[in-house]
Homo-oligomer: A and B are copies of this chain.
Amino acid sequence: MTRLERLKFLNLELPPSPKPQGWYVPVVRTGNLVFVSGQLPLKKGKVAVTGKIGENLSPEQGREAAVHCLLNILAALEGNGVPLESVKRVVKLTGFVQSAPDFHGQPQVLNAASELLTEIFGEAGRHARAAVGVNALPLNAAVEIEGVFEVQEESPQKNAKKNP
């Protein structure tokens, strides 16, 4: 099964790829590393889960948000010249959880994204991670996740073209 097929098998669908915002872009490749911009839990163009975990949201709702963030990361890769099949290793996720000041279960929230990565990528999906709480996120999103990926070598010429 390809990684996209595994997503379908898990009954998950990639959202539309995040669009460049004029000044910044969803994905930048440098050498064999790909940096993906912080993704919100967007679903059909709207933030699917808003609020703070430990205030008006449960950890379970936070986990749902984390999965949406991850799907947007994968969509950002697929839609910007980095097919999931070209990913050699998931290097790092950093997850920011919009939290009440006394909520300390950020790892459990982000585990939902980490588990899914491993289901899709297998061994190559086992990543380094940081999980922190913050008091405010864009658009009142419950979670924001950014990622670093390692991809296959490409020829120096193609690389030069991508970095004008």
Query: Hey, which bits of chain A sit against chain B, CB under 8 A?
Result: 20-28, 30-33, 35-38, 54, 88-94, 96-97, 99-107, 111, 114-115, 117-118, 123-141, 144, 146, 148, 150, 163-164
Known: A103-B136, A135-B101. A128 touches B91 (CB 8 A): no
Copies in the complex: 3
In angstroms, Cα B123 to Cα A103, docked, is 39
- In the complex, the answer to whether B139 meets A96 with C-beta atoms within 8 Å is no
CB-CB under 8 A from A91, the residues of chain B are: 28, 30, 35
Taking CB atoms, residues of chain B closer than 8 Å to A35 are 91-92, 128, 148
Partner pick for A138 among B104, B118, B136, CB 8 A cutoff: B104
Task: Say yes or no: A136 contacts B24, CB within 8 Å.
Answer: no
